[in-house]
Chains A and B, each alone.
Chain A
Amino acid sequence: MDRTKVKQDLVPDYRRLLDEELARRYAEKGEQGALLAIFERYGHIVLGICYNHYSNAMDAKEATQKIFIKMSEELKKTPVDKFKPWLLKAITNYIAWNSTNTVPVKQNRIISHSQLEFEEVDSRYEDENVAELIYTIIQRLERDQKECIELFYFNKKDHILIANATGHTPEQVKGYIQKGKIFIKHKVQEALRHVRP
């Protein structure tokens, strides 16, 4: 019994670990299982992103593999505080550096810095005063952004319904919501800095 318990304690369940913990375990202890768990989580996502830049499926697949191989090397060199932004940066860097040698780009979508923002856990957003602040900022948004955000978050409509209601394409709807959210986030963070330094 004791031996089995010890074994269970020693063999970690990588599915339950956070991305940063997996990266740390691979970097410090060389646990290959941690890297494989990262691949299980993000392999298909990296492939999907590569599809935006490579017209051929095999090229996209090859790029995905190379990104992960490079990632395995980079993880050991530099510690990673926030994994998702780091991964996105790694992908965009790889594609940017190899864009001249790869197949002609079909969907040339430039990733701006505004798109590199991820949601962060911040309990302050749950405060009622902050909620009111967010609501007032939404009212100041551009018309399309405001419309899409209100329809999505307040009326609980999905992108297609909003697109049909507003006349935009679903992709445009998604873009308006994302940009509106980033604007709200920046404004809230500015306000919080002034209120609670």
Chain B
Amino acid sequence: MIKEDVKHLFDRSACLTKRQFEAYLSGNMITEEVYAIEHHINGCPLCSMAMDGMQLRKDALVVANQLNTDFLADHLAATPQQSASNAASYVKSLKPKEISTKPLITGVKVLVAIGACAGILWFVQSVGKNNSGAKTEEPQQEEVVNVATPPQQEEQSVVVEEPLMAEQPATEEPVAEPDPAPVKEQPAIGPPEDKLKPVTTKPATAPVTTTKPAATTAKQPVTAVKPTVVPPTKPVTKTTAIPATKPAPTPAKPPVAKPAPPVVKQEEPKAEPPKPVVREEPKPQPKAEQPAPAPAPKKEPVEELPNDPIAAGKTLMDKRNYNAAINRMRSEMRSSNKARRQEAVILVAKCYQQLGNKDRAAELLKSVVDEGGPEKKNAKKLLKEVDKNAAKEEE
């Protein structure tokens, strides 16, 4: 048996929780639990020192319960970290690495596009110069087609075509014939241009009706490719059209909606004001009534108890409140004053006896008898009584 006890001399256990501290200090523990806690304290300096500190102050556990993790959260939020309160967020934190490659790819694409545009510009300009020197019709048509093919770069193609516009007026009629071809080719280029077309065709059609058809054909390639340059015409149509539609509902709605909500609002406030008035009146009454009777009965017993734990314990015992008496005298059982300690132990033993825990009572009384001192005789007497009662109960 002793060997088994020796084996468990160095058992390791988890540190004490708040509840265990609270229960141990308040004395609301059975002997086995007290023994287990003290077993841990014997081998854990942290809990041992914490217990010493908490025994010094009665409000220790109250302050311990007030401790929040808010200050840690604030501190961690202030310091740059990987964040991630759990593994999932940690996994999320890895994602930026994947995302970081995208800007690179897009940047490269832009650079390539700009390079291509620059090359095309240079090519077009060089060819245009050559053509202007030769003044032939057919090569110009090819150039227009070439210009129409890269319209993915919108602004740059527009810039290219403006000088062409300056050259083309000299040859308005011949250019008119090949124009339909590039216009037909454009839809085949891709959907991005489709979006541009409706925007550009509208302003183009307007001048077509007023001017010669040749001029319209000459302007078409230019207008078709410069959606951004033309906007002065678009906004006019759009602004006139959109405000006509958009503002219409907005002013139209409010007047419709306004009359309705005010009716509701007017009804609600009418209904609400009386409610708070009615609620406010009854609330203070029960509040005023409830606290008044509650503290009154509580204060009386607290005031009656003396400051001395033993005296308080005696008064509680007179009132047959044995558990409270034990809790009250628990601290005195650890007193360095032998006489007071023994007195407290005997009183606690009496309480245990009254509560029916005779083993614990006998154990405490035996400890006083073994120790010897002023309370030894009393302890012996009580021990005999406890033994007699136990024997009677057994019979």
Question: Which residues does A use to contact B, with CB under 8 Å?
Answer: 7, 10-12, 29-33, 35-36, 39-52, 57, 60-61, 64-65, 68-69, 72, 84, 87-88, 106-107, 109, 111, 115-122, 125-126, 128, 131-132, 134-135, 138, 152-154, 156-161, 163-167, 169-171, 174, 177-178, 181, 184-185
A182 to B: closest C-beta gap in Å: 10
Question: Which residues does B use to contact A, with CB under 8 Å?
Answer: 2-3, 5-13, 15-16, 18, 21, 31, 34-35, 38-39, 41-54, 56-57, 59-61, 63-64, 66-67, 69, 71-73, 75-76, 81-88, 90-91, 333-336, 338, 341-342, 345, 363-364, 367-368, 370-371
Given contacts A30-B84, A44-B18, A174-B48, contact A50 B43 (CB under 8 A): no
- Measured in the bound complex, the distance between the Cα atoms of B93 and A32 in whole Å is 14
Whether B5 lies near A154 (C-beta < 8 A) is: yes
Given contacts A118-B43, A132-B3, A160-B333, contact A48 B9 (CB under 8 A): no
Whether B12 lies near A121 (C-beta < 8 A) is: yes
Residue among B63, B66, B368 having the largest count of chain A Cβ atoms under 10 Å: B63
| Chain A residue, CB-CB nearest to B370 | A165
Whether B45 lies near A115 (C-beta < 8 A) is: yes
7 A-B pairs with C-beta separation under 8 A: A36-B73, A44-B21, A47-B67, A48-B54, A57-B60, A120-B10, A135-B2
Q: Which single member of B12, B53, B56, B76 contacts A120 (CB below 8 Å)?
A: B12
Listed from nearest, the 7 A-B pairs whose CB atoms lie closest are A48-B50, A51-B53, A164-B367, A30-B82, A44-B64, A48-B53, A119-B43
Decide if the interface of chain B is mainly helix, strand, loop or mixed.
helix
- Measured in the bound complex, the distance between the Cα atoms of B38 and A117 in whole Å is 16
Given contacts A45-B15, A163-B334, contact A119 B370 (CB under 8 A): no
A46 to B: closest C-beta gap in Å: 8
Given contacts A132-B3, A169-B336, contact A32 B85 (CB under 8 A): yes
Residues of A within 8 A of B342 (CB): 164
Whether B46 lies near A166 (C-beta < 8 A) is: no
Whether B364 lies near A161 (C-beta < 8 A) is: yes
| Chain B residue, CB-CB nearest to A117 | B45
